[in-house]
A and B are shown apart, each in its own frame.
Chain A
Amino acid sequence: MRIIKKIHRTFKLHRIFIKQDLKRLMEYKVDFLTGAVGMLLAQAINLFFLSVIFSQIPSLNGYTFEQIIFIYGFALLPKAIDHLFFDNLWSIGYFIIRKGDFDKYLTRPVSTLFAVTVEKFQVDAFGELIVGITFLCVSIPQIDISINFINILLFIIAVLFSTFIYTGIKLITSSIAFWTKRSGHVMYMFYMVNEFAKYPTTIYNKVVASIITYIIPFAFTAFFPASYFLVGGNPLFNIGGTIVMAAALMALGIFVWNKGVSAYESAGS
């Protein structure tokens, strides 16, 4: 009963803020369109870039153009979902703590992490979401993927946990701000590693491949789970790995966050 009430409360709060952000979107249509067109254009240019490459070679490290598009589209989904729901973590890294605005979250009878993240629903993420889904829809009919119940279930699980890999990494790096007042640039550096996830990990050398597999494991947000669907592979590693990495990063992230909250020294004296 308590749990149901809690879930109900969570959804209600999300709904209020989502409604607000959508309202704002309607109010500033031109602004939203500028951002969305920019986002779409960036992806279109990348697509053009890939097509230039594939105009000269039949496959890249054994992957066809369509397969690359599938991995690319897959990579965009968890990125977009994290962007949609956990964007306020960037504000933690950049200014909430520096300006002493974290105080108010501490006077609320809910977890600080929930209070911070529920506040912002980042509509910009729809750009990535739409492009990601389009890429998947275009590439799936061209490649040999069996669409069945288990695969759909595994796909949803993979996307969900991949999202938590993003969130976990943002959580750990944004928490640094509790000690240093500001960690946005550190966040940015780690976050940028996600760009490696768009292509097959096999194109990188050993050092890079092990970094993105074991240390900043963005490879588990796209290539590993996607390649399970593309070429089979061991689900225990490809999907299970994503789950394990997501759980580990989230656990570490929440631990560091809580440590940070108790070390938090409000601005001024």
Chain B
Amino acid sequence: MGKILRIYKPFTHAGFLLAAQYRINFVFFVLGDILRCFITFFLWHAVFTSGGATTFMGFSETDMTVYIFISFLTGAVAYSDGSYIVGEEIRDGNIAMRMIKPIRFETALMFQELGERTISAVMIFIPLAAGVEIYKFVVTGTLGFNIWFFLLYLVSLVLSYLINFYFNICYGYSAFVLKNLWGSNLLKECIVSFLSGAIVPLAFMPAGLGFVLNLLPFASLTYIPVMIYLGMYDVPTILMSFGLQIFWLVFFIFLQRIIWSACVRRMSVQGG
């Protein structure tokens, strides 16, 4: 473990510096994206005002607001650039260079992202989570913060990032076929944000579809952590969800290894 850390630490440091260098840009981008949350927030506010009912398919307005912001937060912290980076490497042919280095490509990438994630976590996670809790306190008048749910959420969030990371690497290999990285990533973002519950809670889906979506890996990215944060899952459900997340994590790690060795074989046959 110590040796691994020693080898990969420079990547974390580089990612850290990179993020620090672009922090102003980063702030503007995050601000641009948070605007979307507010639009959704106002839209739901209007829904609750227009509908007259206090709950919408089991969600109160406070639940919905927390859901909007925490799902954004989860998506932002668990974000991974993997598919873009792998795609670029494939497009410009640098992927071949990765094979001659004595380190694992994906591990180096992860350590680099670790640096960036730390910065974004500090810069958006703390203020936004605090904002949500203050909002809850103002609206409901009670201190609803539950440290246990919060800690379980953090565990689920870390799993979410890891799944997302390996999923993105796997998706990145699609650049062998789809050369338009911008387009294929837009496609991915659309599908993922829909299936992960980032746009509409999976509970709002038709029953059969909802059940299937709950089992797919995408639910592990956003829906599961947010439901845990909201305290909507009881302990057995949480344990089962963790099991599901771990299953998908292992699945994508292996899938990634299989695709990678197929690439290596293909390149050693075709010569890059």
Contacts and interface: CB of A to CB of B under 8 A. Distances in A.
Interface of A: 28, 30-39, 41-42, 45-46, 48-49, 52-53, 56-57, 59-62, 184-186, 188-189, 191-193, 195-196, 198-199, 203-205, 208
Contacts of A193: 35
29 contacts: A30-B180, A31-B183, A32-B183, A33-B183, A34-B180, A34-B187, A35-B180, A35-B186, A36-B183, A37-B183, A37-B187, A38-B183, A38-B186, A38-B189, A48-B200, A49-B199, A57-B51, A60-B46, A60-B47, A61-B46, A62-B50, A185-B24, A185-B25, A185-B29, A188-B28, A191-B32, A192-B36, A196-B35, A199-B43
Interface string B22-44: 00111011011101101100110
B194 A45 contact: yes
Interface in B162-190: 178-180, 182-184, 186-187, 189-190
B190 A38 contact: yes
Residue from B25, B38, B178, B180 whose CB has the most chain A CB atoms within 10 Å: B180
Contacts of B45: 203
A41 B191 contact: yes
The 5 closest A-B pairs by CB, nearest first: A35-B183, A31-B180, A38-B186, A34-B183, A185-B28
Given A39-B186, A41-B187, A192-B36, A204 B29 contact: no
Given A37-B187, A61-B49, A203-B42, A195 B36 contact: yes
Nearest to B52: A57
Contacts of A53: 43, 47
Contacts of A62: 50
B50 A57 contact: yes
A36 B43 CA distance: 27
Contacts of A35: 180, 182-183, 186
B233 interface: no
B39 A57 contact: no
A45 B193 contact: yes
Contacts of A36: 183
Given A28-B179, A204-B42, 18 more contacts: A30-B178, A34-B180, A37-B183, A38-B184, A41-B191, A42-B186, A48-B200, A56-B56, A60-B46, A60-B50, A185-B24, A185-B32, A188-B29, A192-B35, A195-B36, A203-B43, A203-B45, A208-B42
A32 B187 CA distance: 12
Contacts of B183: 31-38
B57 interface: yes
A257 B199 CA distance: 38
Nearest to B25: A185
B131 to A, nearest CB: 16
Contacts of B254: none
Contacts of A33: 183
A155 to B, nearest CB: 25
A95 to B, nearest CB: 13
Contact of B38 (A45, A61, A198, A208): A208
A30 B176 CA distance: 13
Nearest to B184: A34
Contacts of B186: 34-35, 38-39, 42
B51 A192 contact: no
Contacts of A198: 39
B179 A31 contact: yes
Contact of B187 (A38, A56, A61): A38
